[in-house]
Homo-oligomer: A and B are copies of this chain.
Amino acid sequence: MLSTTARTRLGRSKERAAADRDDLYEVLDTGLICHLGVVTDGYPMVVPTGYGRVGDTLYLHGSTGARSLRAAGDREVCVTVTHLDGIVLARSVFHHSVNYRSAIVYGRARVVTDEEERIAGLRALTERLAPGQWDYARRPDRKELAATAVLALSLEEASVKIRCGAPSDEEADYALPVWAGVLPLVTAWGEPVPDPALPDGIGIPVHIRDRK
């Protein structure tokens, strides 16, 4: 089980929270999508979506008509980013676990209205998902900007949880003839697949071909 909220933990240990800040940035800046939690009509709703970070602000975006965005604007939200690094295979079923890094951010999502900040947020979103594309692809025009809602979420109330390394088994179980260890999960970029509609002669840009 990965969970239990970290909301309280930050309250209990401010030193830990401060020490976690670099970890928080690392988890956010290596993730691709988050899971956005909102409350609609009293019910929880969790949707996957992109995000970007500028300093201590997280940006989310979406169609101005999207229900999750309407539910998130000027409302309390929870944004969770999770990296799954491996399966922890213990000697007992009970101590099976996963190695992971996750960040949870709580706060009120602010609807961004300042055009400069909106564009900075969209740029951060684009560059998180597809670094180099803000300067390479066609930028949003006035009509596209008008159709896009941008939300900002402060990283003030955020926390990080990390589990790594070998399983923790019951003392008596170490004598069992059972293999234990970690099965790592590895994520990598595959070969870029060109759009079939692409005309001849347009090569793959280096920032896409050599993406880390």
Contact = CB atoms under 8 A, between A and B. Distances in A.
Interface of A: 1-5, 7-8, 32-33, 35-40, 42-50, 61-63, 66-69, 76-80, 82, 84, 86-87, 89-94, 96, 98, 100, 102, 104, 106, 122, 126, 129-130, 133-134, 136-141, 144, 148, 166-167, 173-174, 176-198, 202-205, 208, 211
A42 to B, nearest CB: 7
Contact of A185 (B4, B190, B205): B190
Contact of A208 (B44, B89, B104, B186): B89
B44 A38 contact: yes
A39 B44 contact: yes
A39 B43 contact: yes
A189 to B, nearest CB: 6
16 contacts: A4-B47, A33-B84, A33-B98, A35-B35, A36-B46, A39-B44, A89-B192, A93-B122, A93-B137, A93-B139, A94-B138, A174-B197, A181-B198, A182-B195, A184-B190, A184-B192
Nearest to A100: B48
A185 to B, nearest CB: 6
Copy total for this chain: 2
Contacts of A173: 138
Contact of A40 (B5, B79, B90): B5
A61 B180 contact: no
A200 to B, nearest CB: 12
A127 to B, nearest CB: 10
A1 B61 contact: yes
A148 to B, nearest CB: 8
